[in-house]
Chains A and B, each alone.
Chain A
Amino acid sequence: MNPSVDALRREFGPLIGRALVSCGDTIVYLDAGRVAEVLRWLKETPGQQYNYLVDLTAVEYRDPERPLEVVYELFSLERRAPLRVKAELAKDRLEIDSVVPIWAGANWLEREVYDMFGVSFRGHPDLRRILMWETYAEGHPLRKDFPLRGRFSRAEQVRQALGANPEAHYSMDELSIADAYHELPEDMRERLARGERGVIPEPQRERGGE
């Protein structure tokens, strides 16, 4: 068991959940509400110094009762010590703090977790889909209720894919420089006019096919 677990319990007490060792790796569970605080402490405290974010991902179990876990794999370069930190999220409230202010490498990793699992990261500078295209309507692929071949029929998937604009600009950066305002959907234009950033609408439920 990594001694950081005891240090965490001394520092944060009730925020730290169970800790276990699996195949030689130490795993510690955190309270999902204050993840950013604990992770920043882990990065900056001398003696902990987990300055390297190895990976950020999520796990959904086959048992529907179990919550979805967001997994942070950390490594301390000086002490050569790894640590796995997890936060459990209830499936009807998939929201957690973003750690992009702590490690810049978390930017794309969190976007991928959003894309594949639907977890929103509060405070992420540019939360939008990264692997699927921005207007992908079938849902979040790595969820267990998402079938392997997708929700729509193949013809519908091909039609939606061919209908997507390959020159689409959806990031806030691009829209400020491109003359693409008129291509935006109505509701997105309103949200931009109100100055909302990083707020993503609910993915549309299935339309057509299947």
Chain B
Amino acid sequence: MIQRMIGAAAFAAAAAVVSVAAQAQTVKVAYIDPLSGPFANVGEQGLAEFRFAVERINKSGRLGKVKLEVIGFDNKVSPQEALNQLKRVIDQDIRYITQGNSSAVAGALLEAVNRHNERNPGKEILYLNYAAVDPAYTNDKCSFWHFRFDANADMKMESLTTWMTGQKNIKKVYLLNQDYSFGHAVKKAAREMVNRKRPDIQIVGDDLHPLGKVTDFAPYVAKIKASGADSVITGNWGNDMSLLVKAGRDAGLDVTWLTYYAGGLGTPTAMGDAAAGKVKIIAEYHSNVENNKAAKWDADYRKQAPKGNPDFYFLRGKIMWDMFATAIVQAKSVETKAVALALEGMRHEGELGEVEMRKSDHQLIQPLYMLTLVKSAARGGPKHAKIDMEGSGLAPITEARLEAYTSAQPTSCQMKRP
């Protein structure tokens, strides 16, 4: 950290000297995610990938004399700590922030950014959200200064349930979620969308459990078993996900797990072979995807990846930086308002298909994939399951591709434009 600060200071000094000589510019982007504490590995993953992306963009010279720089700030997964860091960011006159973990922090940052922009016209901050999926941020809490590059919880459910329409062997579904805003959103969306698209599917159970507090999921598993469900839809992440799947295997529960975050850091390792063939995930990318135009990028990242973050996850992160760079070029400026105006409504040729940043709510619409975790090819799994996740022996394979328009949702956003 000390080294990073000295490095940043040296960079700033060098940039200052160069700018006097040749009017070069550094656009700093503050990355406000957990860099210490239990979720540090998640924050480090994003930072590692973003640093790689920024390095590549700078090397390509796309932005001419403008250089990008991403600086990490530790939010400790605490809304109040994130606001402290935002104050430091403002002090250092940085105008761009990016963040993704968690949705709670995102909400706090969004409000704080709105307030700051209101009280400080001309010094507005732009917020690039790469992972906080609470639907409200592109609906009733939408803001001109916020752009979301990850499909929100409702969008993911929309795609997941669309995939389900073709699965005739799913007849009885159990809903199990964490008892907080995200879990409630998943539960509500699941009910509504399953009823809409497959009214023949019976929802045989619906449970909420306290977030991160349950060690023993055996009681829940027994309930699922007693209900006769053949599939479980869950938004669980982290330990809640791994413990659930492990408990399921222990009790011999034979269900398909339809999840959002079973591919999350540490979860494949913790689930182990209990997950093989049974766990499905809705995501925008995986390393074994077909027609993978990001394959080389993925491989290049892996070559220089730090030991604890060996995988490439966030294609949406790469798309975010690419679109950001394009916006700067189009706006011919690094002022936040100009960049924002260029960014909204932008269409971009992503590595897996065209994506669009919707003007109405600043939500990125992109193709999604339903993927299954199986044993990697090296361990006897299917041949196309080549690259495994974090060395766990589990590899993702595509179950289905869901086009961008499948996930698009109507929005209640009434955006106030400056």
Partners in one complex: no
Binding site for A on B (CB under 8 A): none
